[in-house]
Amino acid sequence: MASRAKKRDAGPELARVLYALGDPIRLEIVRQLARQGEIPCLGFGIDMPKSSLSHHFRVLREAGILGSRAEGTSIFNFLQVEELERRFPGLLPGILGNL
């Protein structure tokens, strides 16, 4: 076996992404980002303490769904569209199409 060392068990990685998206609040975050581009953490209009929001952003970032960019005192979040499309082709469109 020569030309195969990658293509490993894709299950866990995909499961992690789906798990991260399997929450109404996090799905709402993704929904707004898909429509409005970049949004700072406290700009989603979600009524919830900062620490709770921060938790959800972390889950989404660690799953590779969100990226963030610091500007001033704000942290702008954005969907990592290209990277996700590369990792899981067709997945994101299939989800965003139902938001």
Q: How far apart are CA 51 and CA 95, in angstroms?
A: 27
Give the x/- contact pattern for DNA in 10-39, rule: CB under 7 A. ---------x---x-x--------------
55 touches which of DNA, its own copies, none (CB within 5 to 8 A by kind)? DNA
* Phi, psi angle pair for 90, to nearest 5°: 85, -10
Q: How far apart are CA 7 and CA 34, in angstroms?
A: 29
| Minimal distance, residue 83 CB to its own copies, in Å | 14
Given a contact cutoff of 8 angstroms between Cβ atoms, the answer to whether 48 and 25 are in contact is yes
88 touches which of DNA, its own copies, none (CB within 5 to 8 A by kind)? its own copies
CA nearest to 58, candidates 34, 33, 77: 77
Return left, alpha or beta for 72; rule: phi > 0 is left, psi -120 to 50 is alpha, else beta.
Answer: left
Answer yes or no whether residue 95 interacts with its own copies by CB under 8 A: yes
| Minimal distance, residue 3 CB to DNA, in Å | 33
| Minimal distance, residue 40 CB to its own copies, in Å | 21
Answer yes or no whether residue 37 interacts with its own copies by CB under 8 A: no
Summarize as ranges the residues that interact with its own copies (CB under 8 A): 10-12, 14-24, 27-28, 31, 88-95, 97-99
